[in-house]
Amino acid sequence: MEDFILSDKNFKRSRLHSLYSDFSHLKQTNVEGYAANLTSWKFLLLDIISKHVELLCQDDAISFDSNTLVSILTVRDTSLTYIPKGLSEVLNSMINEDHTLVPLSLFKSKPVDVNGNGDGILRSIFRSIMGTSYCNHVTNFDTADPSSDDGGLIPNEKFICLSKLKDIAGQIKLLLTSNNPAKLNHLQKLAENNNVVKTQTDFDCCIQYLTRDTMDVGLNGDITYLLGSDGHFKGENISGLDLTTLETVADLNYSIFKLQNHYDTLHNSLNTLDHKIHGLIRENRLKLAKSQLRIKKIVEKQLVENQLKLENLQIVRLKLQEAKTNVSVAETLKSNADLLKKINKEAPDADELDSILQDIGDELDRTTEIFSKLGNLTTTETQEEENIIETELSALEKEEEDKNRKSYTKEKSENAEQETSEKLRRISSLFQWKTNVKIT
């Protein structure tokens, strides 16, 4: 943790004395310095809980522990020890002003306002980091331990980071989507197996957030299920089930989950036994190898039986989904059939439709007739006018031919002149060459 803190550009060694002091008095005497220290600590804490929670040396992934936070953030640089004496000031601001943190004790009793918008520059900055999850009913919570003179925090409290809570809860909701509905134990084991949560506290907080604050998930006894916008059960292939039936489906999902885990365990055991038997044979310990081989046969038999049970349960679930799909398709067809009937009632009867079609046909024929007549409305010239036009056209054609002939004659004459000139130039050059030869 020390190396991580010192690598932060805001925690240069030259600033450690100020950052680690009790800087609460700066709020009155040096507002800019107070704000700078506060902002540096806030970004550091949010960065740790969001991306480097392993540095906190705890299993909880969504919160800071008041019992250990001060010691973990303490920096020992050469001969100096820096204890974060102003940490309570930072946490108080994050809880009461920014609403980026909420004490676990208050979270359990009061809901998070997921639609809170907040105000102010600092809150706007943190809102861009954590989204719209606010617990803005908290305004005067004090994290300082009144009995401590060294910046201690109240004991046995946890400070939940709402952005991390929202992220982890979203991952749990995604797991529920593919195992909907699910028993709480089933959902928690799924979250643990997928390294989403490690502690009961984290899981309980996420479930409370999903069921109480966002209301994306319903909870009936120990059965969790996704909720639609209408507040009823929502499932990809088995939506619309009543709560009693949900428990049956949740039991089925959990049984499949447990059987799958048992199958994986048996398969791993089989691989281990096989490796062990081959080792014993290589060492010529045949009696022990024979004993392990018997165990292997028993495990193989259990593996086959477990696989058959798993296949049967998966077939039941598939058929359940298929049955619900069939019902959904039938309901859709029925509603559309009713709609077609309603629309067809508004259509004309057969006789009226024939009359309409006849009228349309008559009008189309009349339109064609009118168009044909209008197309014949061209100007008709007299024979004399026609002769004049033909004579003028012939004169124009002859004029164009004469122009082309003159142009060709002129071009030919120019070419002849060029050829004559070129011949004279060559004769002159030859004569000059002969003269020069005679002189030489």
Mean of pLDDT over the chain:
84
Q: Which residues contact 107 (CB under 8 A, 6 or more apart)?
A: 135, 160, 205, 208
- What count of other Cβ atoms lies within 10 Å of the Cβ of residue 203? 21
Give me the phi and psi of 225, to 5 degrees please.
Answer: -155, 150
pLDDT the model gives residue 381: 56
Residue spans of the domains in the chain: they are: 2-162, 243-331
pLDDT the model gives residue 426: 76
Give me the phi and psi of 113, to 5 degrees please.
Answer: -85, 100
Place of tokens 């001969």: 79
Minimum mean pLDDT range among 74-78, 129-133, 197-201, 226-230:
129-133
The listed range with the strongest mean pLDDT (201-215, 276-290, 361-375, 409-423) is 201-215
Minimum mean pLDDT range among 77-91, 261-275, 345-359:
345-359
Q: Give the integer Cα–Cα distance in Å for 334 and 332.
A: 5
Give me the phi and psi of 309, to 5 degrees please.
Answer: -65, -45
Torsion of CA 180, 183, 184, 186, to 10 degrees: -80
Give bridge partners of residue 430 from the DSSP assignment.
none
Q: Could you report how far apart the first and last alpha carbons of the chain are, in Å? A: 106
pLDDT the model gives residue 382: 66
Express as a percent the part of the chain with pLDDT over 90.
43
pLDDT the model gives residue 131: 46
Element (H, E) at 104: helix 104-107
Judge whether residue 434 has pLDDT over 80. no
DSSP code for 217: E
Phi and psi based region of residue 182 (left: phi greater than 0; alpha: psi -120 to 50; beta: remaining): beta
113, with CB counted inside 10 A (0-12, 13-18, 19+), is middle
Do the beta carbons of residue 168 and residue 187 sit within 8 Å?
A: no
Identify the three-state secondary structure at position 423. Answer: helix
Minimum mean pLDDT range among 355-369, 375-389, 414-428:
375-389
Question: Could you please report the per-residue DSSP string of 315-342?
Answer: HHHHHHHHHHHHHHHHHHHHHHHHHHHH
Query: Is the model's pTM score more than 0.85?
Result: no
Q: Indicate the class that CATH gives domain 243-331.
A: mainly alpha
Band the pLDDT of 118: cuts 50, 70, 90.
Answer: very low
Q: What's the average model confidence in pLDDT over 124-133?
A: 48
Of 198, 187, 137, which Cα lies nearest the Cα of 162? Answer: 137
Q: Give the integer Cα–Cα distance in Å for 213 and 133.
A: 10
Question: Could you please report the per-residue DSSP string of 277-328?
Answer: HHHHHHTT-HHHHHHHHHHHHHHHHHHHHHHHHHHHHHHHHHHHHHHHHHHH
Of 170, 83, 98, which Cα lies nearest the Cα of 134? Answer: 98
Do the beta carbons of residue 267 and residue 304 sit within 8 Å?
A: no
